[in-house]
Amino acid sequence: MKLPIKLSLSKQLLIDIDQMPITQHDRARAGEHVLDWLACASLGKLSDAGRAYQGLLSLDEGGKCTALGGQQTSMQNAAQHNGALGNVLEMDDIHRRSILHPGPVIIPAALAAAEQINCSLETFLSAIIKGYEVTIRMGEAIGRSHYRYFHNTATCGTLGAAMATSSILGLSQQQTLWAMGNAGSTAGGLWQMRNEKVLTKQWHNAQACHSGLMAAFMAQQNLTGPEYILEGPQGIFNALSDDASPDVFVEKQSVWRMYDCSFKPWPACRHAHGAMDVLLEILQQNSIDIADIERIDVGVYQDAQLFCNRLTPETSLEAKFSIQHALAAILLWGEPKLEHYKQAAFEQAQCSALRQRINVQTDAHIESAYPQHFGARCKVRFKNGQTLVRSQQDTRGDPEKPLTPEQRHNKARMLLSHAGMSEENIAQLCAFDWLQAAPITTLSALLRPALSS
């Protein structure tokens, strides 16, 4: 791959972003993503990973930034702590074509930077929009081969975190290029942790968040970085992908790519949601006795089979990455809830028996539409020989099947309540005016007492 004759990909992107207007509607949408992340992360702080990062805070001497859990800490620790929490529940927002989750990396980086310099809510939300744009474009351009070994959210998110932080700091174009170059130089996140029972996925996000944040702050101090970090001969696209499409990174679009993101309604890997949605619709339209089911054949795209074909989950996390468990839980208990993924649920004998009747395999038609669409097909076979078949291209929470504002807020209320937040604070957060002319401390003031329980 040769270096471009004129402008680097990163500079072309920055020129494009500078020319795209950000409206009040765009900022309101960004506020919805912040609320979604806050709800996911606030409950994530009660997890094993959350407790580990609370231990990190015990070594800190304090600061002006918020660590979800109520403590004020340094900017760096806030970014790492909060960056680790957003994906614990597997309910974080997702962009399909880039196969990544922007919110858990971009928002905590932006929050830490915003609190550090006490910028306005408008600046904070605008930075998030730009951070999402860079992250998503990276994921779209880097190619499917990258996802085979690398966690896209981490590798691509670190550049988005650098972009968001650079925007908050008001860096020049040159300084922003340095920030993105240095963030990209340390981008990483190997999938080996999928093969072991570890908490590395949270470490990935925390490091991506922290790396992007610090790259921008160091660029402010004129620490230079490589402008051709993407397309250079030893840059990201050459080093970390076999099928990168650099031109995709600078493709213009009439609206911000944030609008292409999906909000996840259920506490499971998004790769399982297609099959879950199909089965829920089958059950809503038919009266079924689970004792009459012989088996369920599930057709999915290849990544869904690789990530979520798990017959016998042994941990809560593995249950969230098991289509068999997700469907068995729906058959037994209906609409998915957090408690359906706890040990008491996946170890229940009836649930285990149902999982044995669920077969997951790659469906060529579903695969051909991925990753633009996260579809699925379910064929329910009954002991009397009858069958019910249903398939769908898109899944609840996608832009084509969006959650209503009420459904998104109900999700937030449910998670915040489980996290121990008072009803008064939940109401204040869900009614927060993201478009008010106010400093970031207006939001911080709600978070510190609200999330300390």
Domains of the chain by range and CATH? 9-262 (1.10.4100.10), 270-392 (3.30.1330.120)
How far, in Å, CA of 131 to CA of 212, rounded? 10
What is the rounded average pLDDT for all residues in the chain? 96
36-45, 61-70, 161-170, 426-435: which has the minimum mean pLDDT? 61-70
How far, in Å, CA of 313 to CA of 309, rounded? 10
pLDDT at 235: 98
pLDDT at residue 412 tops 80: yes
For every residue of 97-152, DSSP letters joined together read TTTB--HHHHHHHHHHHHHHHT-BHHHHHHHHHHHHHHHHHHHHHH-HHHHHHB-H
Interval 73-98 mean pLDDT? 96
What lies within 8 Å, CB to CB, of 183 at 6+ separation is 158, 159, 161, 162, 211, 212, 215, 216, 225
pLDDT at 135: 99
pLDDT at 11: 98
For every residue of 414-442, DSSP letters joined together read HHHHHTT--HHHHHHHHT--TTSS-BTHH
The predicted-structure confidence for 247-282, as pLDDT tens digits, reads as follows 999 999 999 999 999 999 999 999 999 999 999 999
pLDDT at residue 3 tops 60: no
Work out the percent of the chain whose per-residue pLDDT is above 90. 93
pLDDT at 449: 62
pLDDT at residue 4 tops 90: no
64-78, 407-421, 433-447: which has the minimum mean pLDDT? 64-78
The predicted-structure confidence for 415-435, as pLDDT tens digits, reads as follows 999 999 999 999 999 999 999
pLDDT at 233: 96
Whole-Å CA distances, 131 to 13, 124, 192, 416: 12, 11, 27, 25
* Token duo for residue 75: 């900017």
pLDDT at 6: 72
pLDDT at residue 69 tops 90: no
The predicted-structure confidence for 346-401, as pLDDT tens digits, reads as follows 999 999 999 999 999 999 999 999 999 999 999 999 999 999 999 999 999 999 99
pLDDT at 264: 98
Whole-Å CA distances, 161 to 210, 314, 432: 8, 34, 24
The predicted-structure confidence for 134-171, as pLDDT tens digits, reads as follows 999 999 999 999 999 999 999 999 999 999 999 999 99
The predicted-structure confidence for 298-346, as pLDDT tens digits, reads as follows 999 999 999 999 999 999 999 999 999 999 999 999 999 999 999 999 9
What lies within 8 Å, CB to CB, of 387 at 6+ separation is 379, 380, 381
Bridge-based pairing of strands 293-300 and 358-362 is parallel
The predicted-structure confidence for 178-220, as pLDDT tens digits, reads as follows 999 999 999 999 999 999 999 999 999 999 999 999 999 999 9
pLDDT at 5: 53
pLDDT at 136: 99
pLDDT at residue 453 tops 70: no
pLDDT at 1: 46
* Token duo for residue 420: 């121990």
